[in-house]
Amino acid sequence: MVRERITFFAGVAAMLRPILLKAEDTASDLSSLRLFVMGGSPVPEGFTAEVRRRLPGINPGNV
């Protein structure tokens, strides 16, 4: 994600949590990521707000 400077990622919420934790641990720059679409499984309550807090430039869309 960092090397390729992706702007869009789609997956389940469980995929985004480890990405956020790894980015936090390594101080990775995910500022190019603009949209993360979550679908295919329930999105935990409060998770969208957590994503917005950790990645202020992102628009987490729920499908």
- The answer to whether position 3 is within a domain reads no
In the chain, the number of structural domains is 1
| In-domain check, residue 55 | yes
Q: What is the pLDDT of residue 25?
A: 75
Is residue 39 in a domain?
yes
In a domain, residue 12? The reply is yes
Q: What is the structure's pLDDT at 4?
A: 93
Q: How far apart are the C-alpha atoms of 57 and 49, rounded to whole Å?
A: 12
Query: Tens of pLDDT along the chain (63 residues)?
Result: 888 998 988 888 888 888 878 877 777 788 888 888 888 888 888 888 887 887 777 766 654
The domain in which residue 57 lies consists of: 8-62
Domain contains 47: yes
> Does residue 2 fall inside a structural domain?
no
User: Would residue 38 count as lying in a domain?
Assistant: yes
For the record, the structure tokens of 16 come out as 């985004």
